Amino acid sequence: MKIQLSTVMVQNQQKALEFYTKVLGFIVKHDIPMGEYRWLTVVSPDNEDGTELVLEPMAFAPAQVYQKALFDAGIPANAFVVADIEAEYKRMESLGVVFKGQPAAFGPVTLVRFEDTCGNLIQIFQVN
């Protein structure tokens, strides 16, 4: 068994696509029209056959409540590993990303959370 898909709920798929590709650097794996929405996934450019992140539309009202509750509680909807958190933090900050603090060490990792412009907090971390 292995993880092939992970999902992040987004308020606007096109806005999410722009953020997750242009700011975070992921690439599109699938972009398939599905009526009002799309089957939209992105992957790491380093591993195009790896785990796909589904940019899932917020079409289900309880999901909207859940997303807001996570955000308000400061809980990240997903986390991505980076090789150099200080460099990523500076790069993303220069692009206008809104961070919730600065990178901080917690045991074997250094991490920081940021807003993805689509209603979520996302965490990046570096294994120390």
State how far the Cα of 56 lies from the Cα of 102, in Å rounded to an integer.
28
Report how many domains make up the chain. Answer: 1
Domain assignment of residue 15, given as a range: 5-127
| Number of C-beta neighbours around residue 61 at 10 A | 8
pTM: 0.94
Walk across the sheet containing 78-81 and list its strands: 78-81, 121-127, 109-115, 104-106
Which CATH number goes with the domain that contains 77?
3.10.180.10
From first to last of its 128 residues, the chain has per-residue pLDDT tens of 999 999 999 999 999 999 999 999 999 999 999 999 999 999 999 999 999 999 999 988 999 999 999 999 999 999 999 999 999 999 999 999 999 999 999 999 999 999 999 999 999 999 99
Helices (H), the chain: 13-18, 61-73, 85-94
* Phi, psi (rounded to 5 degrees) for 53: -100, 120
